[in-house]
């Protein structure tokens, strides 16, 4: 039996990644007040947030919930989503020319089983000019993104190198998530190549 996936996230990046893999899902937003959850360890923080988001969703038989949370860690500071342009510029100025770590925690849960894990990816920024950073912030792309940038779009020009899972930086460690979803009878659906009569 194939189960039904419920994504406990309003993130358009996570939704797009699942669509790319041909995975059908419905979206339910948890309404969890993340600001009340604090932990100085970024790995433990993202796992705790992912767990709470997942446990906040009531499930029917045959449903599986996928929840996730992403933060940026730099010099023992945890950077979440900036609330305004000034805060975004401060974050990016701190990350500028340096290496930070992106952590994503993931919870996959059904009525009978659960899997909780996290993935870390190192990201090194180029040493950008203040003008470049200000121009990026003015684009508005920093909104709703941990650390104030989006690696999958304009923010790619900030990044010199990554070490680890690229998709983890986008918001979901896709390869590991897909492997775990199979344990819950959720499978990707890849398109079939159209083969002409001559190729058969």
CATH number at residue 26: 3.90.950.10
Of 183 and 199, the one with more pLDDT: 183
The pLDDT of residue 38: 81
State phi, psi for 196 to the nearest 5 degrees.
-75, 165
Instruction: Give the three-class secondary structure for 114.
Output: strand
Residue 58 inside a domain? The answer is yes
Mean pLDDT score of the chain = 93
Host domain of residue 69:
4-182
CA distance 144 to 156: 16
Split into its structural domains, the chain has a count of 1
User: Could you tell me if residue 187 is inside a domain?
Assistant: no
Confidence band for 34, pLDDT divided at 50, 70 and 90: confident
| Residue spans of alpha helices (H) in 56-183 | 85-95, 130-138, 166-170, 174-182
Cα–Cα distance measured from residue 75 to residue 94, given in angstroms and rounded to the nearest whole number: 10
Which of 33, 41, 69, 132 is catalytic? The answer is 69
Catalytic residue flag (residue 165): no
Is residue 200 included in any domain, yes or no? no
190 pLDDT more than 90: no
d(C-alpha 108, C-alpha 117), whole Å: 9
Q: Are 32 and 48 in contact (CB under 8 A)?
A: no
pLDDT band for position 30 (cuts 50, 70, 90) = confident
pLDDT at res. 153: 95
Percent of the chain predicted with pLDDT > 90: 85
Q: Would residue 130 count as lying in a domain?
A: yes
How much is the pLDDT for 37?
78
Q: Quick count: other Cβ atoms within 10 Å of Cβ 14?
A: 26
Whether residue 104 lies inside any domain: the answer is yes
Q: Tell me the C-alpha distance between 164 and 141, whole Å.
A: 23
On whether residue 51 sits in a domain, the answer given is yes
First to last CA, the chain: 32
- Kindly report the pTM of this predicted structure: 0.90
Q: What span, in angstroms and rounded, lies between the C-alpha atoms of 134 and 142? A: 11
Residue 69 — pLDDT band, cuts 50, 70, 90?
Answer: very high
Q: Over the stretch 119-149, which tens digit does the pLDDT of each residue have?
A: 999 999 999 999 999 999 999 999 999 999 9
Residue 157 lies in a domain: yes
Judge whether 191 lies within some domain. no
Cβ neighbours of residue 171 under 8 Å, at least 6 residues apart? 11, 13, 14, 17, 68, 70, 104
């Amino acid at each position: 039996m194939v189960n039904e996936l419920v994504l406990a996230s309003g993130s358009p990046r996570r939704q797009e990644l699942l669509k790319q893999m041909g995975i059908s899902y419905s979206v339910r937003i948890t309404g969890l007040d993340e600001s009340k959850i604090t932990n100085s360890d970024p790995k433990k923080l993202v796992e705790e947030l992912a767990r709470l988001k997942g446990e906040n969703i009531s499930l029917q038989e045959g449903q599986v919930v996928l929840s996730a949370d992403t933060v940026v860690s730099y010099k023992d500071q945890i950077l979440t989503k900036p609330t305004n342009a000034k805060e975004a510029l401060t974050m990016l100025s701190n990350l500028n020319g340096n290496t930070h770590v992106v952590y994503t925690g993931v919870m996959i849960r059904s009525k009978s089983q659960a899997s909780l894990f996290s993935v870390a990816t190192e990201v090194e920024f180029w040493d950008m000019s203040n003008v470049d950073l200000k121009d990026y912030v003015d684009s508005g792309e920093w909104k709703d993104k941990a650390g104030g940038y989006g690696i999958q779009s304009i923010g790619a020009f900030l990044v010199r190198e990554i070490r680890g899972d690229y998709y983890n930086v986008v918001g979901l460690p896709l390869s590991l998530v897909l492997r775990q979803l199979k344990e819950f009878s959720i499978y990707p659906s890849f398109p079939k190549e159209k083969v002409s009569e001559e190729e058969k």
